[in-house]
Structure 1
Amino acid sequence: MSLTTIMTHSPTAMCDARTARTVGFLHVRTVRGTAQSVRHDPHHDPEGDAVTEPYVLLGIHSLGRATLVRRGSTEVCLPGDLFACDGAEPFVLDEEGDFELHLVRIPRRALTLTDRQVRELGGRVPFADGTVAPLLGPLLRDVAGSRPGQTPRTELRLAGAVADLVGLLAVEDDESGPGDSGPVPREGGQEREALMGRLHAYVDANLWDRNLTPASVAEAQHISIRYLHKLFEGRDSTVGRWIQRRRLEEARRELARPGRDDITVSAVARRWGFASATHFSRSFRAAYGMSPSDWRDGRTRPAA
């Protein structure tokens, strides 16, 4: 995997300060300075900050106005505007004056996002509006500005909150949902498409409920069970298997977060609506070819 790099390119201006720290599984870097270009080059890192796995990079200004250049296009970044990109993609920020920039690196393994969702997230213009960005932006600034001394558990939970919001941000305008493998079916018009979006949102919000069943989903959406099953025809999945898959995906993501040795497999099973730890372990092994404990042990070792 390539490296995260912040380099200045200005004949007259240099960075006044750079700070870097780790918060849970997040790597946070703050850059302050005067008018200059700040570049992210995934192929070169003079600071030796080695990155060995895919990641998503978030950026937000506390101070200053900049022009973001990426993928051959330019976009304006104002204070509070949030942007995201695949860490393997280069970009340049042309800072117009005094600035303070926070860059937060999140391992892809901490996010339940497809490659398509990461690409689409990296192509969105800087934003501060919507449902998720007003929550995520201030949290990123707080994480970047927090002082060392917090307990490892607190830092991991802060990192987990950031990862959860990034996942929501990526699917905020994507009706296929974080666990969907294809587009929303369009036959039947806009009403069917809107209904599928509501179904995904309802299930994702109620995965914790052990009583979440096709019958309860149909009742909540005021449709018959027969019609609910008809919506899933041709999707290589039944409603029940889809609910099970979403629960497994979220449980796997939680177990993969670095340093989560303090949470038991049984607690994760309860959190995501499984009737018992035995049922969860059996379903997990059938889906992923290993036990939940083996998955966690292989994914949550804190980086050196």
Structure 2
Amino acid sequence: MAVLLDTAALRPQDRAEAFYAAMMSASVPSRVEHEDPNGDVHARMDFWQLGAPDLFRNEGSGIRLVRTPKHIRIGAPERLALAVQVIGSGAFSQAGADQHVRTGDLMLVDLTAPYEYAWSSDGASQAFQIDYDDLGLSVETVRAAAQRLPSSPMYDLVLHHLTVMPAISDSLHGTQAADMLGAATTQLVRALLTSAADDEHRHPAMADVLFARITWYARRHLTDPDLSPGRIAAAHNISLRYFYKLFAEHNLSFEQWLIGERLDGARRQLASPESRQRTIAAIAARWGFLDPGHFTRRFRSAHGITPQEWRRQNEKPGDQR
């Protein structure tokens, strides 16, 4: 987590300007109006990078954010934000639709278009921000979903997910799992918007969410010797046939996907100073390759270099001592 702003450390006369600068760095150009600019202006902004997407939390005194057509011309990143009101209540307006956002409500903000958002007294919201390109949905689909979010069967799941994300993101800081969390959240948001926009797309959207859950589960258990399609299918209450169908729909073979993930895990461990005393064969076995020769051939085919050469390249002075 990065703390973008904490006005408690600033003089009162400097807080409004600092708030504007922090808001512009975390989100998009807009006009900021404080409810009581001459009173107790206070705020804290936190930011988590989760691969390509990010999570942004803003908590503080009453504000009004106005993104005008002029701001769009200044800069209109192809992004959207799915936000949850975590403290207080707010008012959100976009594309001619007004929404009273209560504590625990979701709101979808198309950052390519003008909008207004405000809360009075103290409030807080946290938004998952993502590029349209990474989401894989058209602007039309997103706008169709904006007013129909509660109709989606995904609504409560995504709401809970976004609400607990700050604590989870903190615990994953600096790990590969942080990027995986961003990717999994992207799939959840995609499923929410697709199902809200068009009932006909609900089943494919659910399949995408299930696939994301399956790959998340498998990555958490890569070093388990008994990790198998049957075990994974049973853990997700699906048939083995449907399990293989999900991978086929993503143009993947589960076996080849699993080998690739385990090779990546072994590659990371081989480069780790903490594993210098472990033999290559022991590391290979930990990642499911019981035949060292087979592991070497697979590793070289995937990475163009042998495990020994890779380890040597990543040695630092003093590693041999």
Q: 2:163 aligns with which of 141, 156, 168?
A: 141
- Superposition pairs for residues 19-168 of structure 1, below 5 Å? 19-40=46-67, 44=71, 54-124=78-148, 127=150, 130-145=152-167, 146-147=169-170, 150-168=173-191
Q: Distance in 1 between matches of 2:94 and 2:60?
A: 21
Alpha-carbon contact 2:191-2:209 (below 8 Å) kept: no
- How many residue pairs get aligned? The number is 197
Structure of higher RCO (CA pairs closer than 8 Å, 6+ residues apart): 1
Q: Distance in 2 between matches of 1:157 and 1:66?
A: 31
Matched, 1:18 2:45: yes
What are the Cα deviations for residues 178-233 of structure 1, in whole angstroms up to 9, with x where unaligned?
Answer: xxxxxxxxxxxxxxxxxxx76x5797689899xxxxxxxxxx9xxxxxxxxxxxxx
| Segment of structure 1 superposing worse, 138-147 or 164-173 | 138-147
Show structure 1 runs of 4+ deviating over 6 A.
Answer: 201-209
Give 5+ residue unaligned stretches, structure 1. Answer: 178-196, 210-219, 221-242, 250-260, 264-304
> In the alignment, what sits opposite 1:253?
none
Give the 3-state SS of the residue equivalent to 1:12 in structure 2.
Answer: coil
Q: Assess, with a 3 A threshold, how the Cα gap between structure 1 residues 104 and 78 changes in structure 2: closer, same or farther.
A: same
Q: Distance in 1 between matches of 2:153 and 2:95?
A: 26
Shift of 1:30: 1.4
Looking at secondary structure, tell me which structure has more helix per residue.
2
Q: Distance in 2 between matches of 1:31 and 1:58?
A: 14
Q: Assess, with a 3 A threshold, how the Cα gap between structure 1 residues 6 and 142 changes in structure 2: closer, same or farther.
A: farther
Give 5+ residue unaligned stretches, structure 2. Answer: 1-26, 215-228, 230-241, 253-262, 266-321
Greater C-alpha radius of gyration: 2
Alpha-carbon contact 1:60-1:137 (below 8 Å) kept: yes
* RMSD of aligned residue pairs (Cα, Å): 4.2
Alpha-carbon contact 1:42-1:88 (below 8 Å) kept: no
Alpha-carbon contact 1:85-1:118 (below 8 Å) kept: no
What are the Cα deviations for residues 258-300 of structure 1, in whole angstroms up to 9, with x where unaligned?
Answer: xxx959xxxxxxxxxxxxxxxxxxxxxxxxxxxxxxxxxxxxx
Shift of 1:99: 0.4
Q: Distance in 1 between matches of 2:208 and 2:194?
A: 12
Q: What residue identity is the alignment partner of 2:85? A: H
Q: Distance in 1 between matches of 2:146 and 2:178?
A: 26
Q: Distance in 1 between matches of 2:152 and 2:207?
A: 22
> In the alignment, what sits opposite 1:169?
192
What are the Cα deviations for residues 75-98 of structure 1, in whole angstroms up to 9, with x where unaligned?
Answer: 110111111132211221220321
Q: Distance in 2 between matches of 1:62 and 1:44?
A: 27
